[in-house]
Amino acid sequence: MTKGLNTREKIISKSAELFNVHGYHGCSLSDIMEATDLKKGGIYNHFKNKDEIALEAFDYSFKKMLKQFRKRLDYDKTPTEKLHSIIEVYAELASVPGMEGGCPIFNTAVDASNTHPLLKQKANEAINSLKKYIEIKVREGIASGEFRKDADQNDLATLIIITLEGAIIMSRVNDKSCIDVAVKTLKRYLKERIYKP
Amino acid sequence: MTKGLNTREKIISKSAELFNVHGYHGCSLSDIMEATDLKKGGIYNHFKNKDEIALEAFDYSFKKMLKQFRKRLDYDKTPTEKLHSIIEVYAELASVPGMEGGCPIFNTAVDASNTHPLLKQKANEAINSLKKYIEIKVREGIASGEFRKDADQNDLATLIIITLEGAIIMSRVNDKSCIDVAVKTLKRYLKERIYKP
C-alpha cells in the first residue's frame, strides 16, 4: 500500500514538473516513463491515461503554489505586510524548485484553453481561488482600518495576477527586468490606492 | 509559379491560426493537411518540416498583429492619441479574425520557451520590436512637449505589454472583465505618469 502510494506521488510530482516545462501536448507518456523510471504498466497501475495524470498534476502544482504564499504569509502580522508578501512571493514563483517552467495556472491556460476543457476548467477555478485569496486580504485590511474604505478588491486582485503573470511569461524569453517593473508598479499601486495615506 | 505561391501562403496562414489555437506541440502535420486540404506531398513541396512552417507562421502572425496597430495609428495625429490607440488595439487583439487563440507572441513564449530555441528567439525579438515601437511613441511625445520629460519609456512599454498580455491569457479561461481592468489601469497610468498635467 505505502509503496503504491509513493509511486503514485512520484508519478504526479514528476509529471507536474514535465507538464509545466513542456506543456500538456509537449509531454508524452514516454517522457513520464523516463522521468519516473517506470514501465508503462507501472504507470497504468495508477492512472487510466495521460489525461488523468495531467489533471492530478495540475492540482499538485497549484497546491504547491498556494503553499509558497502561505509559507510566507503565515509570518506576516498585518494586511499591509500580507499584500506586500503576495507580490514578492508571486514575483519569485518561477525561481521555486520544480516551478522553473513558470506559473502552472497560466501555462495551462495557454496550453489547454482551446484543446482540453477539463484542464481549462481547472485553470479557471485556480485563478478564481487566487483572486479570492487576495480579495480576502483586502477586506481584512479595510476591516482593520489599515486600508482605504474604497480600496477596490476586484481591481487589485486582477491587477496583481495579470501584471505578474504577464511578466513571468515575458521573462521566459526576454530578460528578468520586466518582473522588477511589475513589482515596482504594483507596490506603488498599493501605496496610492489601497493603503490609507 | 503563382499557384505555388498561393499554396505556400495558404499553408502559412492556415498553420498560423492552428498554431495559435493549439500550440506548436498541439498541432500536427495531419492537422495542417486537413486545414489546407493538401496531401503530405503538397506541403513538402514548400516546406522541409513542421518546424519550418512554424517559424514562418510565427512571422506571419506577428506581421498581422503589427498591421492591427498600424491600421489604427495611421489615423492618429498626436502621440497622446497614439498611446491610447496602442492600448485599445492591444485589448481587442484576441477578437481579430484569425487571432482568436490570443496573442501569438505570448502563446509562443509559453509553448516554446523550453522546447524550441528558434521559436523562443523569434518570440523574444517580437517582444523587443513591440517594446521599441511603444518607446518610440513615448519619445515622440516628449519631443513634441505633450508628455512629461521624465516619462519612463521602458516602464510604460513593459507595463502595456505585461498587463495586457496577462489579461488576454486570463480572459481565455476566466471572463473578459480582466481586460477592462487592464485598460482602465493603463489609461490612468498614462494620465498620471506620462501626459503633462
DSSP string, B61-113: HHHHHHHHHHHHHTT--SHHHHHHHHHHHHHHGGGSTT-TT--HHHHHHHHHT
Query: What would the grid cell of residue B108 be?
Result: 509562443
- Which pLDDT does position A101 carry in this prediction? 86
Contact B115, B51 (CB under 8 A): no
Nearest-angstrom CA–CA distance, A109 and A116: 10
Going by pLDDT thresholds of 50, 70 and 90, the confidence category of residue B72 is: very high
Q: What is the pLDDT of residue A100?
A: 82
Cβ neighbours of residue B173 closer than 8 Å, sequence gap 6 or more = A109, A113, A120, A123, A124, A127
Residues of B in contact with A163 (CB under 8 A): 159, 162-163, 166
Residue-wise pLDDT tens digits, A15-71: 999 999 989 988 999 999 999 999 999 999 999 999 999 999 999 999 999 999 999
Give the per-residue pLDDT at B136.
Answer: 97
Cβ–Cβ under 8 Å, residues A90 and A164: yes
Residues in chain A within 8 Å Cβ distance of B127:
170, 173-174
What are A's interface residues with B at a Cβ cutoff of 8 A?
21-26, 101-102, 106-107, 109-111, 113-115, 120, 123-124, 127-128, 154-155, 158-159, 161-167, 169-170, 172-174, 177-178, 181-182, 184-185, 189
DSSP three-state, residue A51:
helix
- Quote the CA–CA distance of B23 and A114 in Å, as a whole number: 9
* ipTM at complex level: 0.95
Q: Quick one: average pLDDT of A168-184?
A: 95
pLDDT of B114 reads 81
Q: Which of A165, A76, A66, A160 is nearest to A152 (CA)?
A: A160
- B5 to chain A, closest Cα gap in Å: 30
Do B107 and A110 touch, CB atoms closer than 8 A? yes
Asked if residue A124 lies in contact with residue B143, where contact means CB atoms within 8 angstroms, the answer is no
* DSSP characters over chain B: -HHHHHHHHHHHHHHHHHHHHH-STT--HHHHHHHHT--HHHHHTT-SSHHHHHHHHHHHHHHHHHHHHHHHHTT--SHHHHHHHHHHHHHHGGGSTT-TT--HHHHHHHHHTTT-HHHHHHHHHHHHHHHHHHHHHHHHHHHHTSB-TT--HHHHHHHHHHHHHHHHHHHHHS-THHHHHHHHHHHHHIIIIIB--
Mean pLDDT of chain A: 94
pLDDT digits (tens, 9 = 90+) for A130-165: 999 999 999 999 999 999 999 999 999 999 999 999
Distance CA B23, CA B131 (A): 24
Q: pLDDT class for B1, splitting at 50, 70, 90?
A: low
- pLDDT for residue B61 is more than 70: yes
- Say how far apart CA A80 and CA A70 lie, in whole Å: 15
A78, A91 contact by CB (below 8 A): no
- C-alpha neighbours within 13 Å on the C-beta side of residue B25: 21
CB within 8 Å of B176: residues ≥ 6 apart: none
Please indicate whether, in this complex, the C-beta atoms of B172 and A113 are within 8 angstroms of each other: yes
Mean pLDDT of B43-65: 95
User: In this complex, do B120 and A173 lie within 8 Å of one another by their Cβ atoms?
Assistant: yes
Choose among B141, B131, B27: nearest CA to B77: B141
Question: Residue A124's closest CA among A73, A82, A161?
Answer: A161
Q: What's the full length of chain A, in residues?
A: 197
Q: How confident is the model at residue B112 (pLDDT cuts 50, 70, 90)?
A: confident
Percentage of residues in chain B having pLDDT higher than 90: 86
Contact A165 B164 (CB under 8 A): no
Put simply, the answer to whether A124 touches B163 (Cβ < 8 Å) is no
pLDDT mean over B4-32: 92
Is B165 a residue whose pLDDT tops 80? yes
Cβ-defined contact of A169 to B128 (cutoff 8 Å) = no
User: pLDDT at residue B175 above 70?
Assistant: yes
Q: Which of B115, B162, B172 sits opposite A166 (nearest CB)?
A: B162
Chain-centroid distance of CA A117 in Å reads 19
Instruction: Reply yes or no on whether the pLDDT at A1 is more than 60.
Output: no
The percentage of residues in chain B with a pLDDT greater than 70, rounded to a whole number, is: 99
Nearest CB neighbour to A173, from listed B102, B113, B155: B113
B25 contacts on A by Cβ (under 8 Å)? 22-23, 25-26
Identify residues of B whose CB sits under 8 angstroms from chain A CBs: 21-26, 101-102, 106-107, 109-111, 113-115, 120, 123-124, 127-128, 154-155, 158-159, 161-167, 169-170, 172-174, 177-178, 181-182, 184-185, 189
> In this structure, which amino acid lies at residue A110?
V
